[in-house]
Structure formats: structure tokens, C-alpha cells
Amino acid sequence: MAPIYRREFLSKISLATVAISIPQFGFLQSGRGEEFVETETTLGKIKGARNDGVNVFKGIPYGGKVSGDRRFRRPAPLAKWTGVRDALEFGAPAIQSPRRNEPTPSEDCLFLNVWTPANDNKKRPVMFYSHGGGFVIGSGASAGQDGGNLARNFDVVVVQTNHRLGLLGFLYLDELGGEQYAGSRNMGVLDIAAGLKWVHENIAQFGGDPNNVMIFGESGGGAKTSCLYAMPEAAPYFNKASIESGPGVRMLSKETAAKTTAMLLKELNISRNNWKKLLEVPTADLLAMQAKLPFVPPFQERNSKRGTMQGRLGGFGPVVDGIVLPTHPFDPGAPAISKDKPLLVGWNEDEYTFFAWERKDTESFKMDFDGLQKKLEPQYGQDTQTVIEAYRKASPDATAPDIFVAISSITMMGLGSIDIAEKKTKQNGAPVYLYNFGYKSEKKIPGTDYAMGTPHAMDISFKFNNEIPPRDGSAPKESFFGGNRPERFVASHHFAELWTTFARTGKPAAKDVPAWPAYNLKDRPMMRIADKCEVINDRYSTELAMWRSIGKL
């Protein structure tokens, strides 16, 4: 099995009352007994549905046409509408393979969804989530990230967007297309910034505070959040952020992005002078071509002890263009533009077990230490023994598979998260809080006797408080990753309360959870989130000293 490079996961996964009458909205009853709610937006009136104490508005357009002559460009302006527009069904996700229980993907995909306890001008904190799936797949309608329980149980407003992905959202044409195509390689994150602007202009009508907005995201959504944290166009519209299992320290250079564009044109047999033929290529053909290109996420990685930067061709995602994304999000330091914005950052303890499940990797859980040496050598070369010895010293009772999972997990998500926490701390601005999610699922990786533990993406349903007992008192169903143990409900409540309190105040806190100190370079505190939460100082000290010694941190 080929090694999974740091953040390579970003391109490979697809992840999941009584009505009050006030002037801004009113409830309606359908002939079937459904309860609807209407509210105003800057473009016209919309109708959503009220479900168990939460108003839900789906498929609200926040940007216009991005197909045809608008492909690879800023969206066309949206026209105001008359009458009442239904916001009862999710909008189309970006072009990708069809998604179960969602609309057919479409090039025109700029829609957002809102969950709110009430449209009552209460000025609740707003939690604006960017979905995972790298920069190539995903949607704001995935079931595991349903915002209803966060809104219902913690009195917040939740917003999620669909936005352009892959080749259509991140193809670098700035040097070919001129002013009309400026920022083309960053259209996907510019779409998200446009969604944030919509929130600023409209969220008060949904009971949210436009001046108290938290951006957050997991996996690819964490990398998107990293970019937003460094983007001037997004800066006026949020106050705090959380980067979860997707530390976007560095993005792609213009030079490497231009080479990827040249590679695409060659594959399509289109000359540079005729690049506008890209506007005529059917989306299905573009999607097929995207899959043919080297399937590597756009990022730059430090080249071991030499500390140089190395770009890797292929993949589609944000580029450091000096304008939309002026610098790498967290290299050489934390972005000055967000110096005063509090930050959460962290990862799951057993990230790799997700990829074992996804890749049907069973061999990694049968190997001994000789096998571990052979498995790691292609990635770590002469440093392999140093890496293994550090982990055996730190965890003397760990098996070879245990150590493989630990190494793979921290190099995917942990080292970048710690790098971000350290750089944010050195900035001497707003605080940063470092976490590990550690609740252990007893579910086994198929074909093995090895438990999933805390795999990549398991945190989604936990932080959205979607790990709760059924409200009707029936027996709980097994969680997809989280397993059957009832302790998962406690862990989910802790996670959700920590995040919603951070959204409200800028400092994470929860009942029955120890005080969470901001990260500092002396004690290096980390919150381990589970059914029993604890603060651990200088966690992974032996392992991190080794990673620093070989130039990986």
C-alpha cells in the first residue's frame, strides 16, 4: 500500500412548537398539517419548514450563475424575486458523482442552508460550517452534519454552503484569461466568502448575530477554513474559527498551479491560445479528466531536514496568488489579518483507521515490528528506525499496528495542527486552543479484530450533537463510526457544548468539563475530548521532539 502523505486525505474522501407571530415572518399550515415559516431576505421572501422547534431553510441561493460564460469566473448577480420562494429542499451540490438522498450535482451550485431556533432577532451566535471532502467532493446537506440539534439544544444558528469544487472551482486561469478570470484558482473559497457576506446581510432575519460569526470545518473543510482565516475577502464577516482534522498550513504556488493547467490542456488537446474551449467542454468530461490527473491534493510540504518547499502537480484547490490568498495560511506564520480572532485547532487520535476502512486495508493490522519497519521505509528512509524507536519509547506496550496508526494519524493531521497552534501563539494576539478528540468506538475495521477507535470524520456527528438517544424513547441505533456504547452521547454533548460556547464567547467551555486553558509554549495544554474530558500538558512530547529532530515539525 502506498503511504498516505500529509493531508493527502483531502482529495480522497466523501463524507455525512408553538408559533410566535412577529413582523419578520409568519407560520403557515399546509393541507397535510405541515408547519411552514416565511422570512425576508435581501432578495425576496422565502418559505422554510419548522421541525421540532427548529426553523429549517434549505437551498437558499446566495450567488448566481457559474455555468456557461460564467464558468471559472465570479458568479452572475442574483436578481430579486417576487412572491415567496420555497426553501424546502436542498440545492444542488457541486459537480461530482451523484450523492445519495441529495439533488443531482450541478455546475450551478451556490446554495446554502440555515437552521435556527426562531426568526426572532435574538442575535444568537452563528456557526458557519464548510463541509469536508477535500476540495473535490462533499455538500452542505450531508446527513451527519445536520444542524438541527445544535440549533435546538444550544440556541445557535447554523449555516452551511454548497460551493464550487475540483476543476470547476480551482483551475488556475489567471495568466491565460486576464482580468475577467482573476482569482479563478480560488473560486471555490471565494464562493464560501460570498456565503459569509450573505450571512452578514441576512442572518439577523434568522435570529442570528451578524457580528458574532464562527467559521468551522472538518477535513477539507478545515483546510478551507484555514484559507478563509487568511483571506481579506472573508475577513469582515467572521470573528472566530475552528480547524478540525484538516490543517491547511500551506497551499499551492502559482507556478505549480500553472503547470497543472498546462497538463489539463494537453490532456484535452487544447492549445493555450484556444483555452476558451474549456468553456464548451461538458461537465461530465471535465469530471472524468479531473479523475485522470494525478490525484494529489494541492499543498506544499516541507522537504525533511532541508526545510525547503516542494510542490506536487495535480489535484485542485486554493493557490497562493498574492491577492485572494495573499500568503500561505500558516506559513511562515499565522495570518496577521486574523490576529485578533480566537482559534480552535486539533485532530482525532486514530485518524488512520478511517483510511484503513476506506481502502480495505487489513494487512496493516497483522504486521510485526519487522513489517512496520518495511512499511515505513518508503516514506521515512533513513529516519525510519528513529521514528519507530521514539514511539516504542513513548508507548512501551503498543503493538506494531498501534504504532502504525499513531504515526499515520499524527502525520496526517496532528503535526499541522500543532504547527498552527504554535504559530498562532507566537503571534501574541487572540488565543488558540488545541484539542484531541479521543472517544473510542468499539466498532472493528472490517476484516480485522482492530477497533476503529477515533477515526477521521467521526467527530462530525459528535460536534453536531447528532449522537443522541432517540427523542421518542426507542432503542438507539448503532452509530456509523461511533458504535453502540451509550457513553458516546455524553462525548457528543461535551463536544457540541464546547464548540457552541466558543461560538458564543470566544472561549470553549462546558459543564462537567475542566477549564480549557489557551495554548502556550510552556505548558502546551491540550484538551482531550471524550465522555470524560481532560487537559493534558505537553502531550506527545517524546514523539514531537523526534518529529522536530527530523524536520517534520
488: helix, coil or strand?
A: helix
Pick from 277, 296, 342: nearest CA to 136? 296
**Cα–Cα distance measured from residue 125 to residue 213, given in angstroms and rounded to the nearest whole number:** 6
**Cα–Cα distance measured from residue 488 to residue 32, given in angstroms and rounded to the nearest whole number:** 36
CA 411 to chain centre: 18
DSSP annotation of 414: I
CB 225 within 8 A of CB 215: yes
At residue 552, what is the residue type?
K
Q: Out of 14, 219, 364, 461, pick the active-site residue.
A: 219
| Three-state secondary structure string covering 279-317 | HHCCHHHHHHHHHHCCCCCCCEEEEHHHCEEEECCCCCC
- Backbone phi, then psi, for 128, in 5-degree steps? -105, 110
**Active-site annotation holds for 219:** yes
In the block, which residue shows the cell 455555468? 67
Question: Which residues have CB under 8 Å from 343's CB, separation 6+?
Answer: 229, 240, 241, 242, 243, 420, 424, 430, 431, 432, 433
- Backbone phi, then psi, for 22, in 5-degree steps? -135, 165
**Cα–Cα distance measured from residue 303 to residue 301, given in angstroms and rounded to the nearest whole number:** 6
Point out which residues pair with 213 in neighbouring strands: 126
Catalytic residues: 219
